[in-house]
A and B are shown apart, each in its own frame.
Chain A
Amino acid sequence: MSLLSNSTKRGSVLIVGGGIGGMQAALDLADSGFKVHMVQRDPSIGGTMVMLDKTFPTGDCAMCMISPKMVEAGRHLNIDVHTLAEVISVEGDAGDFRVKVKVAPRFVDADKCTGCGDCEVKCPKKVPSNFDQKLGQRKAIYSLFPQAVPNTRAIDSSQCICLNDPDKKRCRLCEKACKAGAINYEDKGKEIELNVGSIILSPGLELYDARVRQELGLGRWQNVVSSIQFERILSASGPYKGVVQRPSDQKHPVKVAWIQCVGSRDNRNANPWCSSVCCMYATKQSIIAKEHDKNIEPTIFFMEMRAFGKDFDKYVERAKNEYGVRYQRAMVSAIREEPGTGNLFMKYAAEDGSLMTEKFDMVVLSVGFQPHCDAEAFAKTFGIETTPYLFPKTSPFAPVRTSREGVFVTGIYQGPKDIPETVMQGSSVAGSVMALLAEARGTETIEKELPPEKDVAGEAPRIGVFVCHCGTNISSTVNIDEVVAAVKDQPGVTYVTNTIYACAQDNQDMIKQTIKEQNLNRVVIASCTPRTHEKLFQETIREAGLNKYLFDLADIREQCSWCHKGQNEVATKKAIGIVKMSVAKSRLQEPLKSETVGVTPECLIIGGGIAGMTAALSLADQGFPVHIVEKDSELGGLVKGVYRTLEGLDVQEFLKDRIEAVKEHPGITVHTGAEVKQTDGFVGNFKTLLTDGSAVEHGAVILATGGIEYQPTEYLYGQSPNVLTQRQLEKRIAEGENPKAGERYIMVQCVGSREEPNQYCSRVCCQDAVKNAIAVKQLNPEAEVMIIYRDIRTYGLREDFYKQARDLGVIFIRYDVDRKPEVAQSGNKVTVRTWDYMLNRELSLEADWLVLSTGLRPHPTTDQVGAMYKVTRNPDGYFLEAHVKLRPVDFPSEGLFVAGLGHAPKNIDETVTQALAASGRAGVVLSHKRLAVSGIIAKHKRELCMSCLSCLRVCPFGSPYIAEDGKISHNEIKCMGCGICAGICPAKAFQVNNFRDDQILAMIDAAVESEPGVLN
């Protein structure tokens, strides 16, 4: 909370960096009443994720996921995207910063450019594409990638022929090609000043330049590529169109090797930290490569397999067992090319110590992340402190806060992390800013004023069709005049015209004018894809007073002219068919009402641990009353048994502070010793009855049910007085029972984790072991500590502590799951027998203390709470989020959010991050007085319904329900319009607005009419 008075706080936010983390923060903030300025160095937003082909562990296409988000951010009324821009100075304080931004010249006027790309076709200058990692080429006028946002090309001034001519007379071909007159060689760029309440830094990281490791041959041997190059090789839109081939000779490689930790976990000429994502992306790349070409034989050379995230271990197991990926534990010392063949010889030490030489067709170096080369200057510009590694300084208890109040960080800049954690942190930083600027919410956002809607119900269709040339993009392949002539006589069509660029501002005005003059009540535009342009045109017709659902977009560019180039006659025929199909659908369109529902601006949080309390404080600071329901008699949760973080911070002190803050906050009501008894409702309007008798009405729910520690039954736990858990050891240390000289502590990792039936990593135990080992050694260097482990997973910046433990003399001995240590009591000590892979022999060790690193489990109530809120859980019992990558704190049903151990095992800083994210996401819902429901939803006709319950079973959102009369009813507020109910309903009682069966059948008729099949 700030000491500043209300009047000085600005309701706007600057976000520096438009990757997936920055975008998530921008969308959350802009959707909840804050004006967002996004500053991005590149000519497009998108960041690192847009370069990736697929994502682990689900294999989802990265671009398919991020592209809709980019379009949304690019089009948002309250997000201003400044590309090719950098912040040069920041003045002021939290609540009121003054920021100067330098915008480099783009040489293309974004207001005039339609994104058609004619200029790029004509540009004669080809240069290596940095986006394709120099494996492909681009032009001097270019867009970073096909789905770039903004879709305005930029001229690379260092490469452009005209700009490098002193008189600017040469070439100018793009200027001639641009029918919109958008090219401006005189562009000088500009400097703008912004006044914002808060600043979010999400500049991302850069990749380690593996050419430094000369022995690995990147840049020297052509068939050695970096992992990001391989990502582009795999990408269907990459330089090789998704065909896995060698750069040297385009041959399909068979034996492909990945080398892990290139540039990471290495103090010499590289970075000491772990980059967190490389183990998983190498696994993913090897799987995807195999899916592209089944002959590929992948081998991953690794030091430690760090599959610590949710379902990651299962993914690695699948890679091994289903795809035959070979995991070889070894460090590769050198790579040599075989002269003439381009094949590569690799030298490494096998597990038994013997020196191996193996031949591969291609080698991928798994490169890590590092702060941008200008990270020091960047931090200075924003006045924030950094760590010696030049990451921003943050605390595990406040992971998104920097040393300067009002300046926050998010994404991999804060520390290496994967996409879901980045997205989570994006929402988390949004939640933090919402709390900081609560009273300024809604002061700087704008809303569009719209004319009243014309009532066209019952009128005969008067369809206007606008056929777009898109410069020459459509018209060079499709004969526009023929299309216009062919649809003129279609029933219901009263007006047809063509337009050079339907999306250009002047033509938008023309369309609005025409709607009025011709008294049109339906509009069809034949141009590009609805995925990027439908919303724009819907807004246009709405501004002319038409209901926005009286619109259809016929895609004759992406799905016609662009893929049938040179086949003008058949392409024109197809375009006519596509437009006729749209007209047939349009004829049957009805104006749709977008319902709105009121929102109770309160939140219920189930679970009073760190996650629940953090989310509660953030939401209460945002001004929303919060109820915490805690099953135990006191707040605190699992963290009550934790004393120190890995970094050495006092957890109990932090917990005490949080509990006090929660108790003192006037906006928070705590119900201890209580559980949820009954709940009902939907987003914005939940009613929940608690076992303490209170009834809570709330607009959102956060499930922070937490976890428990596994109670071991193995390794003599509970039988021998010498056997402890890490938590018990931590308690002994905290209570001052110091280790004695000569005492030997042996720690065993993965107790109750990474084995069926609990085939997952509990994430915290490696760090607990390292933390306690350091504590023992620091308290008494004469005490001995040995850690028997499978893989030490001190990921990210935690790697430092692993190194510290080794430096303090902690001994690490690896074991395999099929050769687990054996423990026996011998007198007042225990004997541990384990195989040592370094010595290749069995060791028998005596221990005074055997310390078990036990795993985590979801809280037993997860099951019951999940059933009550109809949310699913994964096979391990953890809540399953709406989308593993891009919606890590949401559930498929709106208004429900998840935080903490109930979602998956995680550390305190990660729990705090997710809790703040849940508060950010809930804040978006609660900040609306009313929530709009889309018009594209399923409509249920009760008179046709037989209540067979098919819909009830298949609906992913729980919108059909059994009403009081025992028959099915449909809650349209919950409906997302997927239409699965309509597909399955035998009585056809469900129809999806604008995708009704009669509309689809009419489209089929129109399609066949324009192109009969063989039977006709």
Chain B
Amino acid sequence: MADVAEAAEQILVSTVEAPHDTPADWTPNVLAFACHYCAFAAADLAGVMRLSYSPSVKIIRLPCTGKLDHIHILSAFEKGVDGVFAAG
């Protein structure tokens, strides 16, 4: 049994990538999914109030955060974004 568990762990380790090193001046590229009615409105208000945040955050508007799908999050990471922010 111990062998099986060990083998399974080895497979797992070999399929999971080691964490990447991040450069010192790194700012994460973040994609936000925001509900039209609340989080998107909040992002607008941040602008109206001239509040600042990292310009590498971009927002995709959804009719409701309930619309958010696994595929959107996985695809974003697959394509290389560093973080996903879902707000609603």
Contacts and interface: CB of A to CB of B under 8 A. Distances in A.
11 contacts: A64-B38, A68-B37, A146-B45, A559-B44, A980-B67, A982-B67, A983-B66, A983-B69, A1000-B60, A1013-B29, A1014-B80
A1003 B62 CA distance: 12
Interface in A463-483: none
B29 A563 contact: no
Contacts of A531: 36, 40-41, 44
Interface in B45-88: 45-53, 55-56, 58-64, 66-69, 71-72, 75-76, 79-82
Given A980-B67, A995-B63, A558 B47 contact: yes
Contacts of B67: 978-980, 982-983, 992, 995
For A563, A995, A1008, which residue has the most chain B Cβ atoms within 10 angstroms?
A563
Contact of B60 (A954, A977, A983, A1007): A1007
A64 B66 contact: no
A983 B68 contact: yes
A565 interface: yes
Contact of A1011 (B40, B51, B58): B58
Interface string A955-995: 00000000000000000000001111011100000001001
Contacts of A1001: 71-72, 75
A787 B81 CA distance: 68
Nearest to A573: B55
B1 to A, nearest CB: 34
Contacts of B53: 563
Given A563-B46, A978-B63, A979-B64, A1000 B72 contact: yes
Contact of A565 (B43, B50, B72): B50
A929 B43 CA distance: 39
A566 to B, nearest CB: 9
A1014 B81 CA distance: 8
A936 interface: yes
Interface stretch (A28-36, A102-110, A574-582): A574-582
A67 B20 CA distance: 44
Interface in A518-533: 529-531
When A and B form their complex, which 10 residue pairs have the shortest distance between CB atoms, in order from nearest? A979-B67, A558-B47, A980-B66, A562-B47, A978-B64, A1013-B80, A558-B44, A1008-B79, A1013-B29, A1013-B82
Contacts of A571: 55
Contact of B29 (A560, A977, A1011): A1011
A734 interface: no
B69 A237 contact: no
Nearest to B84: A1004
B8 to A, nearest CB: 27
A147 interface: yes
B63 A977 contact: yes
A564 B53 CA distance: 7
B80 A1015 contact: yes
Interface size class of A (residues with CB under 8 A): 35 or more
Given A571-B55, A1013-B82, 10 more contacts: A146-B49, A530-B36, A531-B41, A562-B48, A563-B53, A574-B55, A977-B63, A980-B67, A983-B67, A1008-B81
B28 A1014 contact: yes
A339 B53 CA distance: 41
A61 B39 CA distance: 12
Interface string A195-210: 0000000000000000
A166 B57 CA distance: 51
For B22, B46, B76, which residue has the most chain A Cβ atoms within 10 angstroms?
B76
A1001 B81 CA distance: 13
Contacts of A241: 49
A535 to B, nearest CB: 13
A1015 B20 contact: yes
A577 B82 contact: no
B44 A1014 contact: no
A236 interface: yes
Contacts of A979: 62-64, 66-67
Interface string B5-35: 0000000000000001011001011010000
A1011 B69 contact: no
A571 B56 CA distance: 9
A156 interface: no
A555 interface: yes
A1014 B58 contact: no
A interface: dominant SS: helix
Contact of A1004 (B40, B55, B56, B75): B75
A567 interface: yes
A997 interface: yes
Contacts of A1003: 60
Nearest to A117: B48
Contacts of A192: none
B50 to A, nearest CB: 6
B31 A1004 contact: yes
A563 B64 contact: no
A977 B37 CA distance: 13
A1012 interface: yes
Contact of B66 (A558, A560, A978, A1013): A978
A557 interface: yes
A124 B84 CA distance: 42
A997 B69 contact: yes
A704 B46 CA distance: 43
B37 A64 contact: yes
B64 A980 contact: yes
A446 interface: no
B84 to A, nearest CB: 10
A565 B46 CA distance: 12
Contacts of B79: 1004-1005, 1008
Nearest to A937: B63
B61 A530 contact: yes
A70 to B, nearest CB: 13
B43 A559 contact: yes
A977 B69 CA distance: 15
A563 B51 contact: yes
B58 to A, nearest CB: 5
Interface string A227-256: 000000000110001000000000000000
Nearest to B66: A980
A1004 B51 contact: no
B60 to A, nearest CB: 5
Interface in A538-578: 555, 557-560, 562-565, 567, 570-571, 573-574, 577-578
A1016 B52 contact: no
A757 B11 CA distance: 55
Contacts of A564: 52, 55
A237 B49 contact: yes
B52 A1011 contact: no
Contacts of A1014: 20, 22-23, 26, 28-29, 80, 82
A555 B56 CA distance: 15
Contact of A1007 (B22, B31, B44, B45): B31
Nearest to B29: A1013
Contacts of A1004: 31, 60, 72, 75-76, 79, 81
B30 to A, nearest CB: 9
A153 to B, nearest CB: 14
B53 to A, nearest CB: 6
Contacts of A146: 45, 48-49
Contacts of B72: 997, 1000-1001, 1004
A563 B52 contact: yes
